[in-house]
Amino acid sequence: MILHPHFDVNEAGHLTVAGVDAVSLAEKYGTPLYLIDTDAVRAMCRLYKNTVKTAFGGASVPAYAGKALCYKGLYRLIAEEGLSADCVSSGELYTAHSAGFPMERVFFHGNNKTDEDLAYALELGVGHVVVDGTDELEALERIAAEKGARAKILLRITPGIDPHTHKKIVTGSVDSKFGMAIATGQAFDFVKAALAAPHIELDGWHCHVGSQIFDIDPFTDACDIMLAFTARVKALFGYTPKILNLGGGMGVRYVEDDPGIDYVKNLTDMGAEFDRMCALYGLEKPAVVLEPGRSIVAAAGATLYTCGSVKTVTGFRNYVSIDGGMPDNPRYALYQSRYTVVNASRAAEKSDFPCTLAGRCCESGDLIAEDAALAQPKRGDIIAVLVTGAYNYSMASNYNRIPRPPVVELSSEGDRLAVRRETREDLLALDL
């Protein structure tokens, strides 16, 4: 096993993903190639579905955050597993709808939804619009009235949490483009306006503290602040929310020195804290919604590349260049995100060739990993980057007019092309 149970090495000395030889997958589908182990995705869906229900109470559900990985087949899987979904654009809504996803199970997010987005969401019968601010509330009221509809909403509230310091740095994170802040008092006016809008049905609140968080303190802090807010709203307006949506953000192990995460324990501990706080504030327990994205799909994914140039800059470093890079995985260029890289063709050999894994764009910052170590790579070897299921395909671009790779699903039923490879003709499809 390498990092996660579905990454291993076979007798041929090749990396396997979900038990399938990565080198043979690269031969069959070409590279670069995104792989996703859908049995691993389903296992995470079931873990979340069962644990959220037992930890937070019967009506509580996970809503998969499609921004982590979005294509029709995945929405079909999420629907089959009985999760709700978080969509953040009309493109994600369209994908979910086209996959036959039950739209009443969708939470529609975004800090700047256009009138067109809001009208489209109502037409599709989206379950809840998560309203981000006062003028969006006014726009939704107007659009719902025009359609003779009543829009169910949550309000996006800023609790003022900085997950990276694990402290409540109120002034820091209140300054955000998302939501309305409790600390400034604006969240209370927001609730008042929502309660007064005749074509709006207020079902509760949403907050989101951040992403790639390894322990539960930021979540329990957020829960505490949101429940204290709830108690205050109840006292002021006599209103009690049905839903408390605490957003996404659970971390994932990308490299050996990341901690392992016990998701069941974390969720169970959060649930116990939630119960305790509801009792403390004298509140009936709202249904809790969590919006995991990364932790559902990241570990299930890997990307395969073909090694091209292997170059040593004498006195400096080794550059191993692959046939992909920042267009299919911009996360190192954007955030210096760390990844585990493996020479999939020589996975049983010692990883003792220190190198920088470079992409093929015309840009020095186009790197996937620095300070990597690979079994001595040769032109034509297959290089795997592990744990790329989240925020890789969904963040891919056509920079340098490079077509996007296909997505191949792996499961006990075999391999399936879920998204085909973009062609050069596809790149011209919009050019008039």
- Give the integer Cα–Cα distance in Å for 265 and 273: 12
Residue ranges binding ligand LLP (CB under 6 A): 65, 67-68, 86, 109, 208, 211, 247-250, 291-295, 331, 391
Catalytic residues: 362
In the complex with ligand LLP, the residue whose CB is nearer, 50 or 312, is: 50
Residue pair 420/429 in contact (Cβ under 8 Å)? The answer is: no
| Closest distance to ligand LLP from the beta carbon of 26 (Å) | 24
| Closest distance to ligand LLP from the beta carbon of 351 (Å) | 25
| Closest distance to ligand LLP from the beta carbon of 210 (Å) | 7
| Closest distance to ligand LLP from the beta carbon of 166 (Å) | 16
In the complex with ligand LLP, the residue whose CB is nearer, 14 or 294, is: 294
- Give the integer Cα–Cα distance in Å for 270 and 54: 11
In the complex with ligand LLP, the residue whose CB is nearer, 246 or 322, is: 246
In the complex with ligand LLP, the residue whose CB is nearer, 107 or 305, is: 107
In the complex with ligand LLP, the residue whose CB is nearer, 65 or 144, is: 65
| Closest distance to ligand LLP from the beta carbon of 128 (Å) | 12
